[in-house]
């Protein structure tokens, strides 16, 4: 695989490293020369030991066009869709767009899907948790059906975002980034939308269908510098009528990234980083000893696993991937519905037949 990565920030470095660890060539591109310099002299060497001279760095205006297998969009969320739509014209085999796919206005999201389909370019969205080993095990257990009828799903991604700013020492605070602005895809609803995505993933694995109702309460921080939700609490209901809860926040410390699925016969718990460097799945199954499965991994492993998944999906049925664009669009509809529900104080229904557009959302 030959990669071009747009955005030499935190994720651009992770994906560059993962690609090099797989032996794949990388061109890394940024509009900001300071970001390229920081990558070479600071971020990459401090994270991975030393700079890798094989990574070619380009200012955006000088970046090569065409000839790539995979183009990764690792820029702020409000630039994802325009950059992904432009990348389609380069005819890569695939595009990997970071999460969240876009802002809650859903601008251009359906057009991206339509254009990618017409061009035959596979698009993935970087919800890497669902392709991690622990989530794969949990989803396989759910598909096995031993849990009985699922009564509810609970997912929480509650994490004070100090860690994100520690990884971005050049930012003075959320006001210097998209993170401090919900309309740009920041705040808890966008930044921790891994939780909504995981909820949807487990609901599909359990045969509960897609999310069709969202009732949400968001808590905003708004002053002359920022405007973001620090808490996004969602009640969700699926096509099969099963209800559950999903909480995302940027205030909880120590962090809790956790899911629980309660079936008629048994329960399943998924936990990310419960101990440092360990993900875990616990399952109480009928007639069997409870399963405790621990997965030791490093942060770089997450992205190696994600790129390996993309390569394997391209060799098979890319549209069936849990990180296929369709899943990322579904998650954006839930995030957009959460904002609309919070604004109106009402329940919001999602009609998928209208595409990933504001028209798909109806206030009850
Ligand atoms: N899946 C994960 O675990 C994970 C982890 C980190 C970040 N992310 C996601 O990645 C995205 C970027 O986050 P980040 O922390 O790396 O941000 P960042 O601010 O560290 O880096 C973004 C970079 O993109 C550059 N950029 C902006 N517009 C550009 C353009 N048109 N072309 C090329 N470069 C451009 C900026 O100059 C900046 O250097 C976000 O959507 C974030 O949610 C995902």
Q: What per-residue confidence (pLDDT) applies to 137?
A: 95
Q: Give which of 256, 294, 328 is closest to 133, Cα–Cα.
A: 294
Q: Is residue 228 part of a domain?
A: yes
Per-residue pLDDT at 289? 86
Q: What is the CATH number of the domain that holds 255?
A: 3.30.360.10
In a domain, 28, yes or no: yes
Per-residue pLDDT tens digits for 284-299: 988 888 889 999 999 9
156 and 276 part of one domain: yes
pTM (2 decimals)? 0.98
Whether residue 283 is predicted with pLDDT greater than 90 in this model: the reply is yes
| Best CA proximity match to 2, nearest among 30, 29, 26 | 26
Domain membership flag for residue 306: no
Q: Which atom of ligand 1 is nearest to the CA of 29?
A: 33
pLDDT of residue 288: 84
State the average pLDDT over residues 168-187: 96
**Domain carrying residue 345:** 129-297+323-363
Residues enclosing ligand 1, CB less than 6 A?
A: 6-12, 29-32, 35, 60, 74-77, 79, 83, 98-99, 126, 128, 168, 177, 191
Task: Tell me, yes or no, whether 194 and 256 share the same domain.
Answer: yes
Distance 9 CA to ligand 1 centre (A): 5
Residue 113 counted as domain residue = no
Instruction: Using the atom order of ligand 1, give the atom closest to the CA of residue 168.
Output: 20
How far, in Å, is the centroid of ligand 1 from the Cα of 253? 24
242 with 149, same domain? yes
Task: Give the CATH number of the domain where residue 7 resides.
Answer: 3.40.50.720
Q: Is residue 1's pLDDT more than 90?
A: yes
Q: What is the pLDDT of residues 220-265, one digit of tens each?
A: 999 999 999 999 999 999 999 999 999 999 999 999 999 999 999 9
Nearest-CA residue for atom 17 of ligand 1: 9
**153, pLDDT greater than 90:** yes
**Shared-domain flag, residues 167 and 245:** yes
265 and 220 within one domain = yes
- Ligand 1 centroid distance, CA of 292 (Å): 35
**Same-domain pairing of 80 and 174:** no
> How many domains does the structure of the chain reveal?
2
* 30, 137: one domain: no
Residues 133 and 77 in one domain: no
Residues 180 and 256 placed together within one structural domain of the fold: yes
């Amino acid at each position: 695989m030959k990669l071009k990565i747009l955005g030499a920030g935190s994720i651009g470095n992770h994906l560059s490293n993962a690609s090099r660890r797989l032996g794949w060539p990388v061109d890394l591109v940024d509009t900001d020369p300071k970001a390229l310099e920081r990558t070479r002299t600071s971020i990459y060497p401090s994270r991975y030991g030393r700079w890798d001279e094989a990574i070619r760095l380009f200012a955006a205006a000088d970046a090569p066009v065409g000839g790539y297998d995979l183009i990764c969009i690792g820029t702020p969320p409000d630039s994802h869709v325009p950059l992904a739509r432009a990348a389609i014209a380069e005819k890569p085999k695939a595009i990997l767009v970071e999460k969240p796919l876009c802002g809650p206005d859903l601008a251009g999201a359906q057009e991206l899907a339509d254009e990618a389909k017409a061009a035959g370019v596979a698009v993935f969205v970087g919800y890497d948790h669902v392709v991690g080993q622990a989530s794969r095990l949990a989803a396989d257990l759910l598909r096995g059906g031993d849990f009985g009828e699922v009564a509810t799903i609970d997912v929480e991604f509650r994490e004070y975002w100090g860690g994100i700013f520690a990884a971005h020492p050049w930012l003075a605070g959320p006001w210097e980034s998209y993170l401090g602005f919900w309309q740009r895809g920041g705040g808890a609803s966008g930044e921790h939308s891994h939780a909504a995505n995981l909820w949807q993933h487990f609901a599909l694995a359990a045969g509960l269908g897609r999310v069709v109702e969202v009732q949400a309460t968001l808590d905003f921080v708004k002053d002359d510098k920022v405007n973001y939700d620090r808490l996004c609490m969602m009640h969700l209901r699926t096509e099969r009528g099963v209800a559950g809860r999903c909480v995302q926040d940027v205030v909880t410390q120590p962090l809790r990234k956790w899911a629980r699925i309660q079936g008629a016969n048994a329960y399943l718990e998924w936990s990310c980083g419960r101990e440092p460097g360990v993900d875990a799945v616990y399952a109480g199954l009928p007639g069997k000893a409870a399963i405790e499965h621990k997965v030791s991994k490093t942060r770089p492993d997450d992205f190696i696993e994600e790129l390996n998944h993309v390569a394997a999906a391209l060799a098979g049925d890319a549209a069936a991937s849990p990180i296929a664009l369709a899943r990322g669009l579904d998650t954006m509809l839930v995030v957009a519905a959460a904002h609309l529900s919070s604004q109106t104080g009402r329940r919001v229904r999602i009609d998928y037949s209208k595409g990933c557009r504001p028209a798909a959302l109806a206030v009850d």
